[in-house]
Chain A
Amino acid sequence: MNSKFIFRSILAVAVVTAASCKPELKTATPSKGNADFSRYISVGNSLTSGFADNGLYLEGQQNSYPLMIATQMQTVGGGAFSTPFFNANQSDGTGYKKLSGFTATGDPVITDVPAQAVIGSATVPGFGTVPLFTKYTGDLNNYGVPGIRLNNITLTYYGNLNPYFERLLPNTSPANTIPYLSFVTAKPYTFFSMWLGNNDVLGYATGGASVPADFPTDKALFAQLYNLAAGTMVKGGTGGAGTAKGVVATIPDVLSTPYFTTVTLKALLTAVQASAPTVQAIFIQPGSGAPRPATADDYFLLPLKAANVIGKPNAAGIPYGLHPLNPVESKYVLDKAEAAVIVDYTNSYNATIKSVAAANGLALMDANALFKSYAAGRVVNGAAVSAAYITGNLFSLDGIHLTPLGYAIVANEFIKSINSQYGSSIPIVDVTKYRGVKFP
């Protein structure tokens, strides 16, 4: 081997290495597949609006899953996406909850951030007084309306009763007459997401099944309305091409949210027994029948903790929750029978949603399965994420709605469903860029 050869080889090594200075990873070019994302709209309730910490406020809106999806869609031909943001000077919106510390025993201290966007109230004949929020006038892609049930979407007067909907409408309550479904389809669109139905079962559950008016929507009516909604949405809106693609989502199991899992019988008993070791039972007022000792199959609701009433004597001197004559009120308890109703209706609704999605060729995001998989905890890019209250990173301080990180996980699940149904390759969002519950 001569020196010339070695010298040439040295040059060759130099050339090879200089030519590849940075490590390269193969990237597939993002593709829209057989869908068209040029105008995407999102239809849904509080989860779609970005509601969090028991309120709708600017930061939550900025971290809504539809906005995340729309931003990612822009790499595959998606257009601009407008969210009905609160003004920056009213960024606290409807007000929300924040964590301000912990008690000596480790319980969270949660305080209210006051509303900034409440500008008055209106009287709706036959209904009562509703608050009014600062109106939003501008382009609209995120149509999420907190509180809306599926059986509200065809009501002509609903825009007068729900202030979150009213703020998107041209008229002031009680002068609105356009139903939600007509409103969202008034302009053409090419792609939609629809996550409706949660509130048809949620309100009854969070009220401890104590308000008969909140009873879940009839199953047959739900199926009829869901077919109507999906059948209308796939037409692409008034003045459009007559067709649109989309994604729908199932309803999560509300009983696995922190609202129902944080206050447990065991925790209540342990707290009481610290000062009264002989106490063996917590008495509850079930939905029907006489007060009885609670079992592990009954759910205590999150507000019971903040109410701080356990053990407080009533006028007759009987301690709250510790005696059949002063049981924990029905509004704080979802007893075993009531919980079974929630599960039954949720399952029925989800069967409907899945079959309607299949019949209309829509992508399906199985939120029920998604949240089930996170209930006991999963590790996401090194971060522990679970349904634990405050520390779980998934649920916000109201115990039902999500943190920005939770919404990012939802956005990615939507993106995966869309990609798999339509052969697109919308890139996922980086969930670690989003926060969990803020600690003081």
Chain B
Amino acid sequence: MKKILLSFLLAVPILGYSQSYQVNLQGQKQTAMGGAGTGVALDEAAVFFNPGAVSFLKKNGVQAGGSAIFLKAAFKENGSNITEYTKDKTVVDPSAYAVFGNPNNRLRFGLGVYVPFGGAVHWDPNWTGKYTVTSLDLQAIYVQPTLSYKITDHIGIGAGLVYSRGKVDLKRAVPLTLNDGTSATAQLKGHSNDFGWNAGIYVETVSGVTIGVSHRSQVTAKVKDGDAIFRVPDALKDGFPTSFSANLPLPATSSIGLGFYPSSKTIIAVDANWVHWSTYKVLAFDYNNNSRIPNTSSPRNYHDGGAVRVGIQNMATDRLALRLGAAYAFTPVGKGYVTPEVPDANRILLSAGLGYKASERFSIDLSFLYENIKSRNETNFETNLSGAFKTVAYIPGLALSYKW
């Protein structure tokens, strides 16, 4: 178990998708069901989706998985006849969960390791928007020890402490010309260590419908003394900074979910998420040397975002589960604030998957998610970059679990 967790702590960066740089790939079953899972006690991933549902899991178990994200964004400058694409960069979004304790007891323990925020967008280093961004790698990996308690036979509550380890690596061109005629560049790299929490409540109603409510707190990723690497003309080098500080909000998410059980073989999950993006007002960088460049403060002015999700699971046989889902996410990014590091827009998600129980203890789950982010033609207030963005993503995933 330790080894598995460690390997995920060292895992590669994650691709941003599903609402700006929020990532929603925390469980393979849930991903295959449109990302819904707050109102059902499906599996160990309840540690993420609803800590209150953990105490309702019938078995203990561990699971580990990942989703490979193939994302392609396109940009066409207004007036131009050239469409530019992001580079192919496949990244894997890991998640791992464990649930312990006696299933007959009211108190259960959980541990989750997952990545709720991330991004990996790589444009050509010489693309039209190079002075705004050429690449962004962002990853916040959360480690969440969790307690879940059944207050009654039908009501469970749970809460977890979140430790967040963040990593950011942003590159862009600087509008100064080097002696070889190419543009100067800047790279900002840093880490953050922050805390937050996750709590939820899970209720089985007399009608048989289950209800879940959860809230994951905001974590403000604070990067202190990150590396600011400026590749600028030698004649100007002295005045450029070597380190930076920045704060990036990883916003709170409130969710409500319902579970319906039309037959013993079928589960329908419905979720609504409210993402408190409105705390993301500016992206600001403070430098340790301002003689050549000032500190920057780029307006983002996000408003809150949200998503509605629906998913279905059907046991085709005793061993085989089929899953299907769909979701619609509302972008938090307002008109004039779309930026190429996160070319966000409203999006449609379609998902499918299957689960196979190889034995009483081992099972494997597969998911496939398709995201279609709507085309958006915008002129950014700050950079005047004007054109249309369009993004699609294909995300296959796999998880293995062991129950006892």
| 0/1 string, B101-134, CB within 8 A of A gives 1 | 0000000000000000000000000111111100
Residues of A within 8 A of B209 (CB): none
Asked if A439 and B352 sit within 8 Å, CB to CB, the answer is no
Residues of B within 8 A of A433 (CB): 126
Residues of B within 8 A of A317 (CB): none
Asked if B175 and A436 sit within 8 Å, CB to CB, the answer is yes
B167 lies within 8 A of chain A by Cβ: no
Indicate which residue in A9, A391, A416, A428 contacts B352 across the interface (CB closer than 8 Å): A9
Residues of A within 8 A of B232 (CB): 439
Q: How far is the CA of A6 from the CA of B382 in the complex (A)?
A: 47
Secondary structure at the A interface, as helix, strand, loop or mixed, is mixed
Residues of A within 8 A of B76 (CB): 25, 27
Q: How far is the CA of A102 from the CA of B291 in the complex (A)?
A: 15
Q: Given A101-B235, A102-B235 in contact, is the A22-B85 Cβ separation under 8 Å?
A: yes
Q: How far is the CA of A27 from the CA of B77 in the complex (A)?
A: 11
Asked if B128 and A381 sit within 8 Å, CB to CB, the answer is yes
Asked if B233 and A7 sit within 8 Å, CB to CB, the answer is no
B234 lies within 8 A of chain A by Cβ: yes
Indicate which residue in A1, A26, A382, A391 contacts B132 across the interface (CB closer than 8 Å): A382
Q: Which of B207-237 contact A (CB under 8 A)?
A: 232-236
A17 lies within 8 A of chain B by Cβ: yes
Residues of A within 8 A of B178 (CB): 438-439
A372 lies within 8 A of chain B by Cβ: no
Indicate which residue in B179, B183, B391 contacts A23 across the interface (CB closer than 8 Å): B391
Q: How far is the CA of A49 from the CA of B394 in the complex (A)?
A: 50
Q: Given A1-B266, A439-B178 in contact, is the A382-B383 Cβ separation under 8 Å?
A: yes
Indicate which residue in B73, B353, B383 contacts A381 across the interface (CB closer than 8 Å): B383
Secondary structure at the B interface, as helix, strand, loop or mixed, is strand
B45 lies within 8 A of chain A by Cβ: no
Asked if A25 and B129 sit within 8 Å, CB to CB, the answer is no
B314 lies within 8 A of chain A by Cβ: yes
Residues of B within 8 A of A379 (CB): 382-384
Asked if A440 and B352 sit within 8 Å, CB to CB, the answer is no
| 0/1 string, A16-60, CB within 8 A of B gives 1 | 110011111111001000000000000000000000000000000
Asked if B322 and A428 sit within 8 Å, CB to CB, the answer is no
How many chain A residues touch B (CB < 8 A): the figure is 48
Q: What band does the interface of chain B fall in when counting residues whose beta carbon is under 8 Å from A?
A: 35 or more
Asked if B81 and A30 sit within 8 Å, CB to CB, the answer is yes
Residues of B within 8 A of A102 (CB): 235
Asked if A3 and B233 sit within 8 Å, CB to CB, the answer is no
Asked if A435 and B83 sit within 8 Å, CB to CB, the answer is no
Asked if B74 and A427 sit within 8 Å, CB to CB, the answer is no
Instruction: Tell me which of B176, B382, B391 has the highest count of chain A C-beta atoms within 10 A of its own C-beta.
Output: B176
Q: Given A1-B262, A16-B350 in contact, is the A75-B384 Cβ separation under 8 Å?
A: no
Asked if B81 and A6 sit within 8 Å, CB to CB, the answer is no
Return the chain A residue nearest B268 by Cβ.
A1
| 0/1 string, B50-88, CB within 8 A of A gives 1 | 000000000000000000000011111101111101000
Q: How far is the CA of A90 from the CA of B182 in the complex (A)?
A: 23
Q: How far is the CA of A440 from the CA of B74 in the complex (A)?
A: 35
Q: Given A432-B131, A436-B175 in contact, is the A6-B312 Cβ separation under 8 Å?
A: yes
Indicate which residue in B83, B235, B323, B394 contacts A25 across the interface (CB closer than 8 Å): B83
Since A10-B322, A380-B384, A416-B79 are in contact, a sample of 5 more A-B pairs with Cβ atoms closer than 8 Å, ordered by chain A residue number, is A24-B390, A381-B131, A381-B385, A412-B79, A436-B175
Taking Cβ atoms with an 8 Å cutoff, the residues of B that contact A are 72-77, 79-83, 85, 126-132, 172-173, 175-179, 181-183, 232-236, 262, 266, 312, 314-316, 322-324, 350-354, 368, 370, 372, 375, 382-385, 388, 390-392, 394
Cross-chain pairs A/B with CB under 8 angstroms, 24 sampled: A6-B312, A6-B323, A7-B316, A9-B352, A10-B353, A10-B354, A13-B370, A14-B368, A17-B394, A22-B392, A23-B73, A23-B74, A23-B375, A25-B74, A102-B235, A381-B131, A382-B132, A382-B383, A382-B384, A430-B77, A432-B128, A438-B178, A439-B177, A440-B179
